[in-house]
């Protein structure tokens, strides 16, 4: 960084992540990360949802609109959905959302999806840590944020 | 070459036999050379039907309006409706049938093939005529591109041209189709209506205009920052007049999730319910809210948009809305091998999946 003021801004900046977690897997996975005392970034605000397939694209747009720096959607591995096919439907739908957000020029690293099972507490911590690191580089999200 | 007399005769025949209650078509409009949509209900009116490159509208919209009218009418007229449909209009009817908006027997599709051309873009035409107003716009067929007035070179760009004459100068000028056709027509993959009860005109397979999704591919080539700079400008000037929604045959929801004024309020709706309705998107016309509106609309049209380009045409501030929709159409086609309005029996894009759907973007 050539500009010193920018450097401090990046260091002071704590990304805010909205994490939509499937209640059958990722939510339990994040719980496991907690009870296993795994240290990971506390930047993610978890929102438990019934299934990754229940994520409406409006949740994602709304999160960005209200100032989220990143949105994480986490569901069960393919084949493990409690509702048989919810995560397959989510995969198709969110692929289109991802492509659309990239198309209008939102940084592609701001939207992320992961498969985390209830047993993968360590993976959840890793996903969040990685996401936070990537978002620190990008800085605050101002493109879709509402001026309030 | 489509003979308009055939369309008139067919429409008159339908009305005469009482097979349809009305026929949706185009007639000569009052705005210069441009045709306007019309509903004809008796045989005599059939003679007013026209077919030329100014038949811009997607008439499937009026099937939706008719259906909505029937739903609120105490004595609905449930007889079928005839509709003059271009390739794109017939795909729109296909999607509406796929979604069970109405039944196949409720509509008689009078298909008209655009053959080697399509409809003009009023903005391109106006620019081409340097502000003069066209008085007559017709299809020029290849081989008969005799140069009237000796002013125009006979170049028709390998495809059919468009004959244009302007007010005060009735000599016809042949303009190469490529220069005045609407963008969607340049990228059209099926100019002949696949879903039809009768079709006029030939199916022309080789249309050497632009490759499909040309404009979306061009837009993708820009860098991330350039893309955002462009779209920020577009979203910023959006007026939120909802013209794109009003003209779209697929935007038929009575309640629109991004427009709080459409939320249904009955006598039984309490003040608390009204206050607590979730507003995903405010109505203020600023960049962030307009972005939410347009992105939501694009997603809601994923796998449903049939690229009739109406949203772009009616936009008063020239936002290239078609790009958002064709981008998703392109992804649906390339990644999921899905084409909207192609097969009325298939499951919709977002309610189906395949094991080989892209998975590598997920950690």
Q: Which residues contact B41 (CB under 8 A, 6 or more apart)?
A: B15, B21, B22, B23
In whole angstroms, what is the distance from residue B155 CA to residue B297 CA? 40
Task: Kindly tell me the sign of the dihedral angle through the C-alpha atoms of B38, B42, B43, B44.
Answer: negative
Quick one: A137 exposed, middle or buried, by C-beta within 10 A (0-12, 13-18, 19+)? exposed
- pLDDT-derived band of residue B1, with 50, 70 and 90 as boundaries? confident
* The pLDDT of residue B33: 85
Cβ neighbours of B116 (radius 10 Å): 23
Q: Is the pLDDT of residue B156 over 50?
A: no
- Answer whether A109 touches B (CB < 8 Å): no
Cβ of A144 within 8 Å of Cβ of B229? The answer is no
From chain B, pick out residues whose CB is under 8 angstroms from the CB of A102. Answer: 224
From chain A, pick out residues whose CB is under 8 angstroms from the CB of B226. Answer: 105
Q: Could you give phi then psi for residue B282, rounded to 5 degrees? A: -75, 160
* The pLDDT of residue B142: 55
From chain A, pick out residues whose CB is under 8 angstroms from the CB of B353. Answer: 85, 88-89, 91-92
Regarding beta strands B81-85 and B107-112, do their DSSP bridges make them parallel or antiparallel, or are they unpaired? parallel
Helix (H) or strand (E) holding B112: strand B107-112
Who wins on pLDDT, B68 or B208?
B68
Instruction: Tally the C-alpha atoms within 13 A of residue A114's C-alpha that lie toward its C-beta.
Output: 27
Who wins on pLDDT, A144 or B132?
A144
- pLDDT-derived band of residue B157, with 50, 70 and 90 as boundaries? very low
Cβ of A91 within 8 Å of Cβ of B357? The answer is yes
DSSP sequence for A33-100: HHHTT----S-EEEEEES-GGG--HHHHHHHHHTT-SEEEEEEPPTT--TTSSHHHHHHHHHHHHHHH
* The pLDDT of residue B162: 82
- Across the range B82-92, mean pLDDT stands at 95
Least confident of B55-64, B153-162, B290-299, B349-358: B153-162
Q: pLDDT tens for residues B173-221?
A: 888 888 899 999 999 988 899 999 999 988 887 777 889 999 999 999 9
* The pLDDT of residue B131: 80
- Across the range B79-100, mean pLDDT stands at 95
Question: For residues B7 and B110, is the Cβ–Cβ distance under 8 A?
Answer: yes
Q: Is the pLDDT of residue B330 over 80?
A: yes
What domains can be seen in chain A, in order of their start residue? 15-138 (3.40.50)
Instruction: Tally the C-alpha atoms within 13 A of residue A103's C-alpha that lie toward its C-beta.
Output: 27
Cβ of A92 within 8 Å of Cβ of B226? The answer is no
Q: Which residues contact A51 (CB under 8 A, 6 or more apart)?
A: A22, A23, A24, A75, A81, A82, A83, A86, A87, A90
From chain B, pick out residues whose CB is under 8 angstroms from the CB of A99. Answer: 327-328, 331
* Edge-first strand listing for the sheet containing B169-176: B134-140, B161-166, B169-176
Distance (Å) from the alpha carbon of B328 to chain A's nearest alpha carbon: 7
When CB atoms are compared, the residue of A89, A113, A147 closest to B361 is: A113
- pLDDT-derived band of residue B160, with 50, 70 and 90 as boundaries? low
Q: Which residues contact B350 (CB under 8 A, 6 or more apart)?
A: A89, A92, A93, A96, B302, B303
Instruction: Please give the DSSP secondary-structure letter assigned to residue B110.
Output: E
* The pLDDT of residue B279: 86
- pLDDT-derived band of residue B148, with 50, 70 and 90 as boundaries? very low
Quick one: B261 exposed, middle or buried, by C-beta within 10 A (0-12, 13-18, 19+)? exposed
Going residue by residue through chain A (148 aa), what tens digit of pLDDT does each one get? 445 545 555 568 899 999 999 999 999 999 999 999 999 999 999 999 999 999 999 999 999 999 999 999 999 999 999 999 999 999 999 999 999 999 999 999 999 999 999 999 999 999 999 999 999 999 999 999 998 7
Distance (Å) from the alpha carbon of A29 to chain B's nearest alpha carbon: 15
- Answer whether A45 touches B (CB < 8 Å): no
Q: Is the pLDDT of residue B144 over 90?
A: no
**In Å, what is the CA distance from B207 to each residue of B116, B204, B210, B222, B306?**
6, 7, 8, 27, 19
ipTM confidence score: 0.90
Q: Is the pLDDT of residue B327 over 90?
A: yes
Q: Is the pLDDT of residue B313 over 80?
A: yes
Give the mean pLDDT of chain B: 89
* The pLDDT of residue B45: 92
């Amino acid at each position: 960084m050539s500009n010193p003021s920018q450097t401090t801004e990046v260091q002071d900046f704590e990304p805010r992540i909205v994490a939509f977690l499937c209640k059958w897997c990722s939510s339990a996975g994040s719980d496991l990360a907690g009870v296993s005392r795994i240290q990971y970034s506390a930047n993610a605000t978890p929102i438990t949802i019934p299934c990754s397939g229940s994520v409406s694209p409006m949740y994602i747009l709304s999160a960005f609109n209200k100032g989220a720096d990143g949105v994480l959607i986490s569901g069960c591995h393919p084949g493990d959905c409690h509702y048989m096919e919810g995560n397959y439907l989510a995969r198709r739908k969110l692929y289109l959302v991802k492509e659309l957000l990239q198309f209008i020029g939102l940084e592609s690293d701001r939207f992320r999806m992961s498969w985390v099972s209830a047993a993968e507490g360590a993976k959840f911590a890793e996903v969040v840590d990685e996401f936070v690191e990537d978002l620190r580089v990008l800085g605050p999200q101002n493109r879709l944020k509402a001026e309030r | 070459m489509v003979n308009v007399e055939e369309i008139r005769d067919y429409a008159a025949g339908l009305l005469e036999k009482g097979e349809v209650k009305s026929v949706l078509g185009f007639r000569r409009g009052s705005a210069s050379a441009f045709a306007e949509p019309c509903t004809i209900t008796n045989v005599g009116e059939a003679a007013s039907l026209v077919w030329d490159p100014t038949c811009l509208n997607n008439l499937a919209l009026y099937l939706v309006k008719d259906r909505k009218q029937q739903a609120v009418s105490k004595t609905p007229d449930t007889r079928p409706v005839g509709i003059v449909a271009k390739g794109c209009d017939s795909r729109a009817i296909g999607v509406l049938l796929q979604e069970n908006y109405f039944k196949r027997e409720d509509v008689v599709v009078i298909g008209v093939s655009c053959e080697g051309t399509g409809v003009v873009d009023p903005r391109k035409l106006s620019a081409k005529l340097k502000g003069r107003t066209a008085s007559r716009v017709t299809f020029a067929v290849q081989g008969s591109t005799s140069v009237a007035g000796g002013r125009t070179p006979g170049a028709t760009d390998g495809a059919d041209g468009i004959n244009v004459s302007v007010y005060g100068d009735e000599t016809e000028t042949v303009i190469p189709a490529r220069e005045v056709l609407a963008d969607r027509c340049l990228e059209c993959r099926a100019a002949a209506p696949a879903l039809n009860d009768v079709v006029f005109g030939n199916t022309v397979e080789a249309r050497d205009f632009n490759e499909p999704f040309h404009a979306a591919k061009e837009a993708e080539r820009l860098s991330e920052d350039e893309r955002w700079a462009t779209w920020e400008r577009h979203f910023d000037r959006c007026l939120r007049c909802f013209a794109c929604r009003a003209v779209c045959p697929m935007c038929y929801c009575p309640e629109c999730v991004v427009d709080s004024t459409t939320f249904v309020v009955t006598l039984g709706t309490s003040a608390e319910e009204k206050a607590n309705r979730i507003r995903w998107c405010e109505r203020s016309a600023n960049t962030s809210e307009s972005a939410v509106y347009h992105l939501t609309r694009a997603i809601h049209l994923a796998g449903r948009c049939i690229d009739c380009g109406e949203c772009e045409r009616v936009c008063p501030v020239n936002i290239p809305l078609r790009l958002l929709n064709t981008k998703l159409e392109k992804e649906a086609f390339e990644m999921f091998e899905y084409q909207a309005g192609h097969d009325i029996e298939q499951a919709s894009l977002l309610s189906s999946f395949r094991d080989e759907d892209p998975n590598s973007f997920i950690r």
